[in-house]
Amino acid sequence: MTTRVEVDRGSTSKWSASWLSWDGDRLPKSCSMAVATSAVPVETRQEPWPQWKRPTNVVLRPSFRQLVGPTVNAKMDLIRRHGNNAVHRAAAVPKTVAEASVKELFHSLYWFARTYTRQASALPPAGLEFDTSAVPRPLSPQARALKQAELKAKEAEDEARFKEQAEQLAAERAQNADLARQLEEFKAQIAAAKAANQSVRDTHDYDEQATGMPSSTCSSKKRAGTSSPEVRTPSTR
């Protein structure tokens, strides 16, 4: 449940009046809504993904902990803490910590697949275990340098191919634009010729009787001014 409140602390305060959303299960019961929301700084409110809605903080919500259960939530929180330490500490991440994080991620994703997979045939087997040998190992300095060189060469190749494709696309678009211009010119010429030709009375003998056109059509043609050969029928007495 999301509650919306408006807090106005005045223009001279570092807290500005704005609408904000707050997950109700994080608010202390002893605090009023106004006090709790006014403690959120402006910089946090203006972020595209507010701090209290970030995935790293979702695992701290009581509603989420209740959803996943204490076991899975503890694994997710361990991943969060290891990630924070990796970002904010200058020391390198130990191999054991890195592997432990990946292992806990494996169990967390297993829970998601086990809980939300819609087809029973696609459910992960209960005996599925984390395979440490499947984790990519760090490359040696020589192998890393070679890999980086290969990636740079592939990047240059891709860039050249994309440039060539962009040039071809631009040329095709220019050709299409020229063809469209020619088509419009032809349409204008045909329309002008049609208008000029229709301004002159059509006196051609279309021989409608030989075509087998109904008499009503012939009569309408006569009324419209189209000449047709006169057919005389011998009189019977």
What tens digit of pLDDT does each residue of 129-152 get?
999 888 888 888 888 899 899 999
Contact 26, 58 (CB under 8 A): no
| Residue 203 lies inside a defined structural domain of this protein | no
Q: Do 73 and 125 lie in a common domain?
A: yes
Q: Do 66 and 131 lie in a common domain?
A: yes
Contact 105, 72 (CB under 8 A): no
| Residue 1 lies inside a defined structural domain of this protein | yes
Indicate the pLDDT class of residue 60, thresholds 50, 70 and 90.
confident
| Residue 26 lies inside a defined structural domain of this protein | yes
| Residue 223 lies inside a defined structural domain of this protein | no
Indicate the pLDDT class of residue 218, thresholds 50, 70 and 90.
low
Domain containing 193 equals: 140-197
Q: Do 100 and 74 lie in a common domain?
A: yes
Query: DSSP character for 204?
Result: -
> CB-based contacts of 65: which residues, under 8 Å, 6+ apart?
59, 73
Spatial CA neighbour of 84 closest among 113, 57, 114: 57
Q: Do 132 and 69 lie in a common domain?
A: yes
Q: Do 64 and 121 lie in a common domain?
A: yes
| Residue 189 lies inside a defined structural domain of this protein | yes
Q: Do 127 and 73 lie in a common domain?
A: yes
Contact 213, 207 (CB under 8 A): no
| Residue 101 lies inside a defined structural domain of this protein | yes
> CB-based contacts of 113: which residues, under 8 Å, 6+ apart?
123, 124
Q: Do 3 and 71 lie in a common domain?
A: no
What pairs with residue 22 in β-bridges?
Answer: 3
- What confidence tens digit (pLDDT) does each residue in 78-107 have? 999 999 899 999 888 898 999 999 999 999
Does the global pTM surpass 0.75?
no
Contact 34, 17 (CB under 8 A): no
Cβ atoms within 10 Å, residue 139: 12
Average pLDDT over residues 110-123: 93
Q: What pLDDT was estimated at residue 223?
A: 52
Q: Do 165 and 184 lie in a common domain?
A: yes
| Residue 93 lies inside a defined structural domain of this protein | yes
Q: Which amino acid is at 207?
A: D
Q: For the chain, what is the domain count?
A: 3
Q: Do 149 and 133 lie in a common domain?
A: no
Spatial CA neighbour of 75 closest among 123, 128, 130, 120: 130
- Calculate the average pLDDT of the chain: 75
Q: Where are the alpha helices (DSSP H) in the chain?
A: 33-38, 42-45, 55-58, 62-68, 70-88, 95-116, 141-198, 208-211, 215-223
Q: Do 64 and 29 lie in a common domain?
A: no
Q: Looking at 104, 120, 138, which one is the last position of a domain?
A: 138
| Residue 206 lies inside a defined structural domain of this protein | no
